[in-house]
Structure 1
Amino acid sequence: MNKNSSSNGRRSFLKKMGLGGLSLAGFTLAPMQDQVAYATQNVQQNSSPSDLKITDLRVTRVLRTPIIRIYTNQGIVGHGDVRDIGDYRYALMLKSRILGQNPCNVEKLFKIISQFGHHGRQGGGVSGVETALWDLAGKAYGVPVYQMLGGKYRDKVRIYCDTTMSKDPQEYARRMQERVDAGYTSLKMDIGISLVEDVEGALVNAEFWKNRPGGMSGWNSIPGSYSNTEHPFTRVQVTEKGIDKLMEYVDVMRSQIGYEIPMGTDHWGHFGVNEAIKLARAAEPYNLAYMEDLIPWTYTNQWKRITDSTTTPTQTGEDIFMLKGGFKELIDNQAINVIHPDPVGCGGLLETKKIGDYAQKQGIPMQLHHASSPVSFLGAVHAAAATENFLWLEHHFVDTPWYDDLVTGVKKPIVQDGYVPVPEKPGLGVELNEEVVKKHMDQEIGFFEPTPEWDESQSWDRLWS
């Protein structure tokens, strides 16, 4: 029998077996080559993981989030996000360090690039590349990312959602109720001294900052502004009147949504540890799920003072890069009640799990921050599924109607009755909807344009002599 007739015979055999079903007797009596062909017909053969090589890294940007794409010599690509409002060049500078490498060696490559990450948005490049490597490895081996992280503890991941601020407490409560009606079972409200900055007698030393460039906005890049002065150094204080006004918002929220739903708070403002303690104590009757980022995460001893002074749970961590970069000290000192890494900034998916696992040994649960694209949102779902002490994952774009349309491969809506089903497809389980991304992308950066200027390293990276 010549090669062609043999091949045609196997195809005919497989076709017959596929149409009529293959009995055990029929299988065992078939020629060995046909048995092998039938048994392996569903095995992924479009990639050879051991021969996989990285050939390129490019970026686009949507929703203030740089999305990276890593290309390979076998045609499969992996995606990841640089953290929201982060610089896409945090990822591009890593390109020369990973070109030609096998993306399946995730830990090896992470050790090469992790020295270029840092806290805040500066961890976004490393985290985005790490996520894209897991996406590639999962696709190469035909398994979902959570499986490579050790398996899953849950089939669906619970979501908490943010709520846009309003100075009208009743309007704010109405917006919160909309979240409940949409099926969310965990909420967060932004509340802080900006709500009472115009109330006479509510704050001390506020006028000084209001008369400086940037005013009391917490979001500007002006050096020396209130926004860029760490909390202990603003010397802003909250009076009893100010505290009462702020608690009115919390009271209206609880009166509207009740006490069954966990409700956390964020964006309180820039003030010192004593003010934080006063506010946390005042909030105790409302049983908040947490008060987030009351002071910078770097002040471990001050965090412990706050935590030890109140029954209101404390939480921080979205700006910390890696377990040993800051989480470990907070956890070891029992300085906070809940850790709050962002998988798009803390070092990626495996680092997120390591942080959660370490915290669990000290009796501390983990909640995940997220405000980036659906790519890393689903990546965070994998990390959450694989970590036992996980609580809730943030959904920051509830009010963006085309958010889900940016990706394909998962059932829509992505969030179903307050939960996200864990993807079962290889890798992250999603691909970009290129048409929708192009519609909403940053035109200045473009859609994964070539980046040859980042192909070669211009530095000697070794940290020791």
Structure 2
Amino acid sequence: YFLVKSNKGYILSNVIVKIFTDVGIIGIGEAACDTVEPVSVVKTMIDDHMAPRLIGKDPYDWKCLIDLVSWDTPRGATRFSTSGIDLALFDLIGKALGVPVYTLLGGCWRNKVLATIEVPRGSPEKMAEHCYEYYRKGVRGIKAKIGSNPERDAECIQAIREKLGYDISLRADANCGYSVKEAIRFCSCVEKLDVDLELLEQPVVQHDLSGMKEVKDSTLIPISADESAYSLSQVQQIIKLNAVDIINTKCAKASGINGVVQWATIAESAGLDIQI
């Protein structure tokens, strides 16, 4: 495993997964970890419970094998472990067939995607300057970290837009930082400023889906669920409640590429967009 620094100041470990075959091809994946699913838990789950089920199996049955080692629970307790296996299997099959992973997903739909970079909280001036540094390097997607004072946060968004103009994608992520009333105030302020904010991610606490819906119904700014969307069953609950406009999915929390496809299919059937 290797270490990464989190935005909360502590060190997190990610587990590297390698699947070996009798023909010498090695599939490599990565299982993210956090304080809920630390490296010891993820590693034990893979080594003791998942890996034994894969030994002797045909890797070309990779989707069957992903189902074999995974299961969805209300808390998504095996999502990180499964994602490591999933990514390693996709890598292995792509190498065996001599094709990129997108071919395994149905082909290349586009040759370019917008990548956004996160900008930490700060004063309006500092956040705008920080964004401009990225802009000069070619970055055209900004996700500003907010979630403290709604009016001050709105000023930060305005400062970034004024500094970079309207040819960039500008998004905001509150990371559960607002109350429902504060999130509504922020959205109201931003709408009045006419800064073309593409979305507001996770404005309220993880389990307050009714509060998320209240924010969504109060604004024209698309609301995205990140921390609230932590398992397939939870995504279904979010959709059932019509709580958000967008589902933020990641390979780690969706249990891998196969999981992202499942989440995207469910979201599309409900008329929701996803972000990856």
Q: Which amino acid aligns with 1:317?
A: D
Partner of 2:2: 61
Partner of 1:292: 201
User: How much has 1:352 moved relative to structure 2?
Assistant: 0.8
Change (3 A) 1:282 1:326: same
The equivalent position to 1:340 in structure 2, one of 230, 248, 270, is 248
Question: C-alpha deviations, 1:155-211, integer Å up to 9, x for none?
Answer: 222211112333x32222111011111112211011221xxxxxxxxxxxxxxxxxx
TM-score normalised by L of structure 1:
0.51
Question: C-alpha deviations, 1:413-454, integer Å up to 9, x for none?
Answer: xxxxxxxxxxxxxxxxxxxxxxxxxxxxxxxxxxxxxxxxxx
Partner of 2:225: 316
Q: Say which structure, 1 or 2, has more relative contact order (CA 8 Å, 6+ apart).
A: 1
Q: From the CA coordinates, give the structure whose radius of gyration is larger.
A: 1
User: How much has 1:287 moved relative to structure 2?
Assistant: 2.5
TM-score normalised by L of structure 2:
0.84
Partner of 2:138: 183
Q: Could you say what secondary structure the match of 1:68 adopts?
A: strand
1:20-169 correspondence to structure 2 within 5 Å: 60-63=1-4, 64-85=13-34, 87-88=38-39, 89-90=41-42, 91-93=46-48, 94-115=50-71, 119=75, 122-166=78-122, 168-169=123-124
Distance (Å, rounded) in 2 between the aligned partners of 1:305 and 1:183: 37
Structure 2: gaps spanning 5 or more residues:
5-12
Is residue 214 of structure 2 the alignment partner of residue 305 of structure 1? yes
Conserved? CA contact 2:177–2:205, under 8 Å: no
Q: Which amino acid aligns with 1:314?
A: I
Structure 1: gaps spanning 5 or more residues:
1-59, 194-241, 369-465
User: How much has 1:308 moved relative to structure 2?
Assistant: 0.9
Change (3 A) 1:317 1:106: farther
Task: State the Cα RMSD in Å.
Answer: 2.4
Conserved? CA contact 1:116–1:126, under 8 Å: no
Q: How many residues align?
A: 259
178-187 or 299-308, larger mean C-alpha shift: 299-308
Change (3 A) 1:332 1:269: closer
User: How much has 1:263 moved relative to structure 2?
Assistant: 1.0
Conserved? CA contact 1:190–1:266, under 8 Å: yes
Partner of 2:8: none
Q: Which amino acid aligns with 2:135?
A: V
% identical aligned pairs? 26
Change (3 A) 1:312 1:79: same
